[in-house]
Amino acid sequence: MNEFELGFQHQMNTLNLKRKDVAEALNITMPTLKSKLRNPEKLTVADVRILQDLNFNLNQLMQL
């Protein structure tokens, strides 16, 4: 697990979200979510907007 994934997991816990919830919000499968978390450069602008709507602090994650 890379630093981005760890930070993402921490924020999910803080926001009381599960990976399943995030995958459903992004309208992607769990394997696709896992891939995007391992390679955050694969996140699309639409993904970023949805994550922001879910109250993720992406600025903090991108600094990791």
* pLDDT tens digits, one per residue of 5-59: 999 999 999 999 999 999 999 999 999 999 999 999 999 999 999 999 999 998 8
Quick check: 1 pLDDT over 90? Answer: no
Strands (E), the chain: none
Other Cβ atoms within 10 Å of 31 Cβ, number: 9
Domain spans in the chain, listed from the N-terminal domain onward = 3-62
Where does the pLDDT of residue 61 fall: very low under 50, low under 70, confident under 90, or very high at 90 and above? confident
Q: CA 55 from chain center: how many Å?
A: 11
SS3 16: coil
Q: What is the pLDDT of residue 6?
A: 95
CATH class of the region 3-62: mainly alpha
Where does the pLDDT of residue 64 fall: very low under 50, low under 70, confident under 90, or very high at 90 and above? low
Residue 21 to residues 27, 52, 60, 61: CA-CA distances in angstroms?
10, 14, 21, 19
